[in-house]
């Protein structure tokens, strides 16, 4: 997708004024947290499993070179092919080459964030291959030419009216006077439309939630069944995935699956969890005759050994964004990046550079909720803090902010002067605001007072009050 992370502040402002978006956010946000909590409460071992999930991923990353080689060897042994791709461009070329070799005109796609990351769809279209998204949410976004706004509920920013109008505009072969009396009617129409495509497609592209070194399997998780149809019906199955998804054994994947769905949708288990290993066997009645894995790096190896290595544990459950007050206020599009929310704010600067996305780690109140719900315990607030430090070091923060921090630092290093200055300010503001108890406007604080009043200090500073109290107690 086109990156507009630089414009986060402007994007966020317009998101706050978007009535449709605010309606969708208001509906969805409390649901996410409630469902996750209920699923966690049903499983007494959940906290133990979080620790184990973290340890599994830490171990896999610490031996990533070994497990990737072992995984690739197992894929080849089962008759599949692995395409190692250092960059997004390498991955796009690899997918195109497979499609052209298969003589593909239509390609069905299961939901895959990595294909969003490498902007695969426009690339395939430009080369005469038509990709069709089959996840219901991704399907409508493709019709609307919009990027996803959430990593597991891509179209959750849309309301029912949007679905109806988009389907009417796109499916012109159906009677114009048809009525969508229930949500089910929308679903049924999409199911009918996509059935034809599933049966006609030459190549099916899916992502992977996990790769298993022991067996050379890729694992996908869906609720709709679209991923399974995508990888079963066409002649060629392409898995587009990234290097940090590999785990050693089936048992490791099972432990991670126990925390994935619960953290994501609050289900105990997604409806379809499918392990795919190589192409169809000689005696199989169905399945693809070719199986390819496009294995993407795109900046991830550069995170190994840095303070951002923890981010490679991410299993893309979306719990962090589902519980984030900033995401909950502005939605996913404001981030202007493939991955929104706290995990996106940490990952995006690594993928597209700090100049483009250095702003995103500022989109946090540091409330810590994201870290507390992360199934693999990624210290997201800390990682955002690391990015802020880097942003400051590289002089990417605005001059006014740097100036203000400079003045504050000058005072903070001189305690007596600091106390005197703050005391004058507190007493002065207290006197100025003595009538209303608050300020509707203050110099240098326009960003605050434009949308709310600033309370006037009630008397002296903390230091002065503390000193006075100590004196009283003798």
Partner 1 sequence: MPKQAMLAAIRRGLKRGPLTADAQAMLLGHMAHHPRHTVPGRGQLHPAGRGALFAQMVEREFGTVARLPALADVPGAVAAYLRTQNQPPALVVSPHPALAGLDFSGLAARAGSAAAHDAAALTYAFAGIAETGTLMLPSGPQTPIVNNLLPDNAIVVVEAARIVASYEDAFDLLRQAGAMPRNVMLVTGPSRSADIEQTLELGAHGPRRLHILIINGAV
What residues numbered 405-424 form the site for partner 1, per CB under 8 A?
Answer: none
What residues numbered 280-319 form the site for partner 1, per CB under 8 A?
Answer: 280-281, 283-287, 297, 301-306, 309
Residue 215 makes contact with partner 1 by CB under 8 A:
yes
Cβ proximity to partner 1: between 152 and 334 the closer is 152
Q: Which of 234, 278, 336, 344 binds partner 1 (CB under 8 A)?
A: 278
Residue with tokens 């080849």: 76
Picking from 130, 134, 140, the residue whose alpha carbon sits closest to that of residue 202 is 130
What residues numbered 324-363 form the site for partner 1, per CB under 8 A?
Answer: none
Specify whether the CB–CB gap between 380 and 370 falls below 8 A: yes
Q: Residue 161 is encoded by which pair of tokens?
A: 């009216």
Tell the smallest beta-carbon distance from residue 337 to partner 1 (Å): 21
What residues numbered 135-174 form the site for partner 1, per CB under 8 A?
Answer: 135-137, 140, 153-156, 158-160, 163
Distances in Å between the alpha carbon of 270 and those of 259, 261, 266, 304? 11, 6, 9, 30
Q: Which of 27, 97, 402, 436 binds partner 1 (CB under 8 A)?
A: 27
What residues numbered 41-60 form the site for partner 1, per CB under 8 A?
Answer: 43-45, 48-49, 52, 56
Q: How many CA atoms, within 13 angstroms, populate the side-chain half-sphere of residue 382?
A: 10
What residues numbered 86-105 form the site for partner 1, per CB under 8 A?
Answer: 86, 90
Cβ proximity to partner 1: between 52 and 460 the closer is 52
Query: Does an H or E element contain 394, and which?
Result: none
Largest CA distance in the chain: 91
Q: Which of 130, 277, 382, 449 binds partner 1 (CB under 8 A)?
A: 277
Torsion angles phi and psi, residue 272, rounded to 5 = -120, 115
Residue 22 makes contact with partner 1 by CB under 8 A:
no
What residues numbered 227-266 form the site for partner 1, per CB under 8 A?
Answer: 228-229, 231-233, 243, 248-252, 254-255, 257-258, 265
Q: Which of 15, 40, 64, 88 binds partner 1 (CB under 8 A)?
A: 64
Q: How many other CB atoms are found less than 10 A from the CB of residue 279?
A: 19
Cβ proximity to partner 1: between 269 and 424 the closer is 269
Total residues in contact with partner 1, by rule CB under 8 A: 101
Residue 462 makes contact with partner 1 by CB under 8 A:
no
Tell the smallest beta-carbon distance from residue 285 to partner 1 (Å): 5
Residue 33 makes contact with partner 1 by CB under 8 A:
no
Q: Which of 14, 165, 188, 372 binds partner 1 (CB under 8 A)?
A: 188
Cβ proximity to partner 1: between 252 and 371 the closer is 252
Residue 272 makes contact with partner 1 by CB under 8 A:
yes
Cβ proximity to partner 1: between 141 and 378 the closer is 141
Give the torsion through C-alpha atoms of 75, 78, 79, 80, to 10 deg.
-30
Residue 70 makes contact with partner 1 by CB under 8 A:
yes
User: What secondary structure does DSSP assign to 391-439, as a single string?
Assistant: HHHTT-S-HHHHHHHHHHHHHHTSHHHHHHHHHHHHHHHHHHTTTTSEE
Cα–Cα dist 16/334, whole Å: 10
Q: How many CA atoms, within 13 angstroms, populate the side-chain half-sphere of residue 279?
A: 17
Q: Which stretch binds partner 1 (CB under 8 A): 80-88, 352-360, 396-404, 447-455?
A: 80-88
User: What secondary structure does DSSP assign to 276-343, as a single string?
Assistant: E-SS--TT-SSS-SEEEEEEE-TTSGGGTTSTTGGGGG-----HHHHT-HHHHHH-SGGG-SSS-HHH
Q: What is the β-pairing status of strands 236-242 and 210-212?
A: unpaired
Length of the chain: 474
Cβ proximity to partner 1: between 255 and 411 the closer is 255
């Amino acid at each position: 997708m086109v990156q507009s992370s630089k414009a986060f502040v402007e994007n966020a402002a317009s998101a706050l004024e978007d009535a449709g978006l605010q309606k969708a956010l208001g509906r969805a946000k409390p649901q996410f947290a409630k469902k996750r909590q209920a699923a966690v409460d049903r499983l007494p071992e959940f906290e133990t499993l979080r620790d184990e999930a973290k340890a599994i991923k830490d171990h896999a990353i610490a031996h990533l070179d070994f497990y990737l080689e072992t995984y690739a060897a197992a894929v080849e042994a089962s008759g599949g092919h692995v395409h190692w791709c250092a960059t997004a461009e390498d991955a796009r070329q690899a997918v195109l080459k497979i499609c052209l070799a298969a003589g593909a005109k239509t390609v069905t796609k299961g939901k895959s964030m990595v294909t969003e990351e490498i902007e695969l769809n426009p690339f395939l279209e430009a080369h005469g291959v038509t990709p069709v998204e089959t996840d219901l949410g991704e399907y409508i976004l493709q019709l609307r030419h919009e990027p996803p706004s959430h990593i597991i509920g891509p179209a959750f920013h849309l309301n029912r009216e949007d679905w109806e109008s988009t389907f009417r505009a796109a499916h012109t072969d159906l009677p114009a006077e048809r009525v969508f009396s229930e949500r089910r009617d929308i679903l049924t129409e999409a199911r009918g439309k996509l059935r034809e495509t599933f049966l006609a497609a030459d190549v099916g592209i899916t992502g992977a939630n996990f790769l298993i070194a022991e067996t050379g399997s890729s694992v996908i998780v869906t609720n709709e069944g679209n991923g399974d149809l995508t990888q079963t019906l066409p002649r060629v199955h392409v898995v587009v995935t990234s290097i940090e998804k590999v785990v050693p054994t089936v048992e490791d994947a099972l432990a991670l699956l126990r925390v994935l769905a619960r953290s994501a949708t609050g289900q105990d288990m997604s409806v379809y969890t499918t392990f795919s290993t190589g192409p169809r066997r000689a005696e199989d009645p169905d399945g693809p005759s070719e199986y390819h894995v496009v294995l993407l790096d795109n900046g991830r190896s550069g995170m190994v050994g840095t303070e951002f290595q923890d981010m490679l544990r991410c299993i893309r459950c979306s719990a962090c964004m589902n519980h984030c007050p900033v995401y909950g206020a502005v939605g996913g599009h404001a981030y202007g990046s493939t991955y929104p929310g706290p995990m996106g704010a940490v990952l995006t600067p690594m993928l597209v550079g700090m100049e483009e996305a250095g702003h995103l780690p500022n989109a946090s109140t540091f409330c810590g909720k994201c870290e507390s719900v992360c199934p693999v315990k990624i210290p997201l607030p800390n990682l955002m803090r690391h990015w802020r430090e880097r942003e400051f070091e590289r002089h990417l923060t605005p001059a006014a902010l740097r100036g203000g921090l400079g003045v504050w630092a000058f005072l903070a290093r001189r305690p007596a002067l600091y106390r005197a200055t703050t005391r004058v300010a507190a007493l002065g503001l207290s006197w100025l605001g003595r009538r209303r108890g608050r300020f509707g406007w203050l110099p240098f604080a326009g960003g605050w007072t434009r949308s709310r009043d600033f309370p006037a200090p009630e008397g002296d500073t903390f230091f002065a009050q503390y000193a006075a109290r100590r004196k009283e107690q003798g």
